[in-house]
Structure 1
């Protein structure tokens, strides 16, 4: 392999590039996680993380991946045999459904199939809930930003559909690739459990996951009968009151989380969301300029954190990715599940700016041309024009 110079372009939709100041923060010596210094850090973090979720309620932090937080959301609120309504918006929505089934929940009768190009449909949800005369559905599971497709579901409208039906089901939402990059409002939108991870918009390495929890979800946790021990909210929230945990926390990741939250607060969350939306729009302008299609079929649902690009029939998206990695030392996301070989995914989230996006799109354009994909060379210029004008 040719020796590499410069930095690697990590343009997958997570894990994202970790800022230097976050890396430096994590390099501090590990301290006693039962001591007063760590207790003070924990109390600061539990307060500082709330605005990112848009909540005044508790946020539970686990030393786990987002998959662990999925499980925690389910086992803390539901009982064996409970019916759960799931929307198939992409690969990760499908995995969450499979987890629910494995835990003993009933998901097949209330599964809403999808084409992986659209988000969860509020009108379909309204029909499903109206038909549930016995109020047997106990939870609705939706992925806010589907990492495999670049499609963002309209959670506020999902909640409106639930309220219009006067349905008591809990609303569980995955924000793994949207938290800290796309506008999200746990309290205002009436979400009961929000699931998140550290490795995307929060600009950390993998290793932390989160549940933001509503009062209604806390009440449900007191009667939920799915087995749980490590994931149980109650002892964690109780320990958190004094700045401690019911398990050994990921101490050095907490140092990084505090620095990442400082960065988000300094930029201002509205500015963070606007930056991501702008980069998403510029990326889609490039894709259209190349003469290719964005996987997301509804512009209202286009993601600010990643863009999935469809390659033309007869071409292999993985070949394009391989050429770009080999020639330009840039990693792009692969197509997952049914999208394997059909799409590549450009991550534009986290610690990212205009020149980062310009370099990314230049590498993609050259890779497409080298792979023999017929593209118009004006794609990069279209993105630059948009960024210059805003």
Structure 2
């Protein structure tokens, strides 16, 4: 083993770096998850997550990855053979569709080009054609982590309502929650899925379903056979702050600390900070002469920026060079865009100085790897940071 001085830059779009306050909270001694002291921890986490989802409805917390919460959403709300309308925004939308197929559902994909979010008009057109109301749910990804595109969730709900269709709205906000604006109640979402390792600034290990009253009622008599994922068992015992099986106790300590940090900064400031850093990153990318994968103006993510490589150059080779020489980890391209893009994460515990260091590392990596570009991307990014005030910071 050889020691590398300085800190490693983990700039993949999740897991994001964990703040010291959260690490200290997680490091507390384990307590009895059936004992009287635990109830306060559990209640704080369950109630706190309602403020992050912006809901008065139930939030379920699982000791799992986001993939588990995907499955929970599907098996509690839908039955085998049900039709689900989904939209191909990228790799993770495709994985959710694949899971639906494995569970015996009948997902239908609206084809996308991986360069923007879900199109409300296309969804409305398909929903209007479903005169028999065979489609039981519309499922979309809020922030597509593979492409850096954001879907307009509120407009999708409006499209479903305009078609006077009873389909439930299911949203994956695994990388969107606590990073970019998400309003469960106001936007009329029925089930939302999220995870701990992105905007919540925790290690991987806990995941969430936010559930509308309509969806919870439907699950009481419908859904598939389930045990571990059952909302009903969770809801019954969550009322007292406990869980039906062993929870991720120390992760809940960290979750409560993370929720406190988000509210100390102010959620609106958190969202504005992410948007500001996304705009600055895109300015750097365009100055370098490279192309941002998301080309739908207004749908670019504040969580990450996916960057297309010039023809004939390997994104993975560039990433390996940047890691070897500058100790920075950048996200890889997934499935359809494998080795064609790299992804810069700018989420979570992140500030202007961090961004400057990250973009410097990327530019140095481009130079070292021999990728054609124009130097000075950092200056282009700093200009954007100068033009957009720091949220929550007095001038």
Q: The residue matched to 1:93 in structure 2 has which SS?
A: helix
Note if contact 1:89-1:119 (Cα within 8 Å) is conserved in structure 2: yes
Match of 2:294 in 1: 296
Aligned to 1:76, what secondary structure does the other structure show? helix
Task: Report what 1:53 is aligned to.
Answer: 53
> Do the aligned residues in 2 keep the contact of 1:148 with 1:308 (CA within 8 Å)?
yes
Give the equivalent residue in structure 1 for 2:392: none
Distance 1:223 1:290 in 2: 56
The answer to whether the Cα contact below 8 Å between 1:306 and 1:345 also exists between their aligned partners in 2 is yes
| Matches of 1:293 and 1:238, distance apart in 2 | 50
User: In the alignment, which residue of structure 1 is the partner of 2:193?
Assistant: 195
Among 208, 215, 237, which residue is 2:206 paired with?
A: 208
- CA drift at 1:286: 0.3
- State the match for 2:335 in structure 1: 337
Q: Report the CA distance between 1:370 and its aligned residue.
A: 1.2
TM-fit CA distance, 1:377? 0.7
* CA distance, structure 1, for counterparts of residue 223 and residue 346 of structure 2: 40
Q: In the alignment, which residue of structure 2 is the partner of 1:119?
A: 117
Give how far 1:44 is off: 1.4
Secondary structure, aligned partner of 1:141: strand
Aligned to 2:66: 66
Instruction: State how far apart, in whole Å, the 1-side matches of 2:322 and 2:310 are.
Output: 17
Q: How many Å separate the matches in 1 of 2:88 and 2:221?
A: 28
State the match for 1:253 in structure 2.
251
SS in 1 for 2:221: coil
Superposed counterparts of 1:1-390, under 5 Å: 3-107=3-107, 110-390=108-388
Instruction: Give the secondary structure class of the aligned counterpart of 2:165.
Output: coil
1:223, distance to aligned residue in structure 2 (A) = 2.0
- The residue matched to 1:207 in structure 2 has which SS? coil
Paired with 1:68 and 1:163, the residues of 2 have a C-alpha distance of 29
Distance of 1:361 and 1:321 partners within structure 2: 13
Find the aligned partners of 1:76 and 1:17 in 2 and give their Cα distance: 32
Q: Deviations over 1:20-39 (max 9, x none)?
A: 01000111100000011111
Take 1:318 and 1:242, find their aligned partners in 2: how far apart are those partners? 49
Change (3 A) 1:154 1:42: same
* Cα deviations by residue, 1:126-156 (Å, 9 ceiling, x for unpaired): 1001100000000111000000000000101
Bigger Cα displacement from structure 2, 40-49 vs 185-194: 40-49
Unaligned runs of 5+ in 2: 389-395
User: How far, CA to CA, are the matches of 2:317 and 2:221 in structure 1?
Assistant: 51
Cα offset, 1:372, TM superposition: 1.1
Which segment drifts farther, 370-379 or 356-365? 370-379
Contact 1:171 1:192 in 2 (8 A): yes
The root-mean-square deviation of aligned C-alpha atoms, in Å, is 0.8
Between the two proteins, the alignment pairs up a number of residues equal to 388
Matched position secondary structure for 1:299 = coil
Runs of 4+ aligned structure 1 residues displaced above 2 Å come to: none
Q: Displacement of 1:388 after TM fit?
A: 2.0
Q: Give me the TM-score of the superposition, normalised by structure 2.
A: 0.97
* Aligned-pair CA distance for 1:2: 6.0
Unaligned runs of 5+ in 1: none
Q: What is the CA distance between 1:175 and its match in structure 2?
A: 0.4
Closer, same or farther in 2 for the Cα pair 1:386/1:340, shift >3 Å?
same
Shift of 1:81: 0.3
- Where 1:36 maps in the other structure, the secondary structure is coil
Which stretch of structure 1 is more off in the superposition, 269-278 or 378-387?
A: 378-387
Quote how far apart the aligned CAs of 1:3 are.
3.3
Task: Report what 2:391 is aligned to.
Answer: none
Task: Compute the displacement of 1:379 (Å).
Answer: 1.1
Deviation at 1:293, TM superposition (A): 0.4
1:352-389 deviation per Cα after TM superposition (whole angstroms, max 9, x unaligned): 00000000000001101111111111211100111122
Per-residue Cα deviation, 1:154-184 (whole angstroms, up to 9, x for no partner): 1011011001001100100000111000000
3-state SS of the aligned residue for 1:140? Answer: strand
